[in-house]
Amino acid sequence: MDQITNPQSCRSVSSCSALESQRPAFPSFAETATEAAPKPCRGPSCRQVALAQRPSRISASATAEADGAHGQKDVFRVGHLRAYLPGYRTDHTQKTMARTHNFSEIDVLNCILPLLPEHSVVLDIGANIGNHSLFFGSQKKVDRVIAFEPIASVCEILRKNLELNDLLGKVEIKSFALSDEDGKMAIAFFDPKHTGSTALRNAKDGTIEARKLDSIAGELALDRIDFVKLDVEGSESFVLAGARRTFEKFHPLYVQVEIHEVHPIKSLRNQFPNGDAIRSTLAGMGYELEKKFPDGRNYLYKRTDSDKGAEA
C-alpha cells in the first residue's frame, strides 16, 4: 500500500501498486536529463527483465495453479516463494506476479540487493501486498524488514503472503500510514480495480492512523536502517518530512523512490508536490541520484556520506 500525504484537504493517499493504466506517458531520458546521468545496472537479470515482464495473457496453467495449487486458491509461485494473489485478474501488481511467476520490478530488486550490507534493516513504506517485503525478507543478508500498510484489506493479503512463506517475525507489519504529522485519516478515494489509487484525507473522526517516522522510531527499537523503499504515489516529500530526525540518526544507505512528474490521477494533480519537490527534499537530506531505472518512474538515491555509520 502506498500512501500520499497532502498538506491541505487531502493529507495522505494510500496506494497498493503502481497505477500503470492511469499514469501519463513519461518523457525520455534525454528530455528529463536534469540530474546526474543514471548508472547502468550490473545485476544479472536486468537484460532479461523486459522480456520477463512483457504483457501477455495469463496462461491456462497459471489459472489452474490459482485454482488449487498448494491446496489454496489464488496461490502462485513467485520467484523462489509463493504468493497469495486474489486480485491477479485485475490488479496490476498481482497480475504481473501471476503472469511472470516473479516479483514485480524484479530488475529494480536485483540491482539493489547486491548493494545492501550484511544484517540489513529495510523499511518498506507503501508495502501493498508485500512484493518488496517478501523479496527482501527472504534474503539471508537482511535481518529485519518493517512493512507499512494502512489499508486493512490489503494488509490482510500482505499478512497471508508472509505467513505462506514463514516470514512473519522477520518481516513486521505496521498497519498505519506514514506522514508528516501524527493524526487520523479517512478514505477519500478508492477504486477496487486499482487499489493503488486509494486516497486518504485528514479526518478527526477517521479510522486510519497516521504517524511520523520520527514519532515511532523509538517504538520500533531501531538500531540501524540500510535501505528504504518509498512508493507512496506523490506523498514522498511529506513522508520524508516526518522522518528527518530518523534519517539524521541512522543515515540509510539507499532510498528507492517512485517519482511522478505530475500526479497520475488528474483530479489530484494540483494537491500534491511534483517530482522536483521530491528530488529537492532528498537532496536536502543528503542524497544524490545513483540510478534512474528504465521504467522511468523508479529512482535509486544514495547517501552522499556513504561511509558514515549509524549513530547511537
Buried b (16+ CB within 10 A) or exposed e, 10-49: bbbbbbbbbbbeebeeeeeeeeeeeeeebeebebeebeeb
Q: Where are the alpha helices (DSSP H) in the chain?
A: 49-52, 60-66, 92-100, 106-112, 131-137, 152-164, 213-216, 236-241, 244-250, 275-284
Q: What's the whole-number mean pLDDT along residues 109-118?
A: 98
Smallest Cα–Cα separation from 45: which of 100, 108, 104?
108
pLDDT confidence of residue 233: 73
pTM: 0.77
Whether 308 has a pLDDT exceeding 60, the answer reads: no
Q: Among the listed ranges 2-6, 159-163, 219-223, which one has the minimum average pLDDT value?
A: 2-6
Q: What's the whole-number mean pLDDT along residues 272-297?
A: 90
Whether 143 has a pLDDT exceeding 90, the answer reads: yes
Whether 16 has a pLDDT exceeding 50, the answer reads: no
Pick the residue with more confidence: 49 or 127? 127
- Which domains, from first to last, does the chain contain? 2-22+43-303 (3.40.50.150)
pLDDT confidence of residue 144: 98
Pick the residue with more confidence: 39 or 31? 39
Q: What's the whole-number mean pLDDT along residues 125-151?
A: 96
Contact 143, 119 (CB under 8 A): yes
pLDDT confidence of residue 267: 60
Antiparallel, parallel or unpaired: β 177-178 and 227-230: unpaired
pLDDT confidence of residue 185: 76
**Distances from the Cα of 229 to the Cα of 141, 147, 158, 216, 257, angstroms:** 17, 10, 16, 18, 6
pLDDT confidence of residue 139: 98
pLDDT confidence of residue 305: 85
pLDDT confidence of residue 261: 73
pLDDT in tens, 173-203: 999 999 898 998 777 777 777 776 676 766 7
Whether 151 has a pLDDT exceeding 70, the answer reads: yes
pLDDT confidence of residue 118: 98
pLDDT confidence of residue 8: 42
Q: What's the whole-number mean pLDDT along residues 72-93?
A: 93
pLDDT confidence of residue 306: 67
pLDDT confidence of residue 14: 42
Whether 43 has a pLDDT exceeding 70, the answer reads: no
Whether 35 has a pLDDT exceeding 60, the answer reads: no
Whether 20 has a pLDDT exceeding 50, the answer reads: no
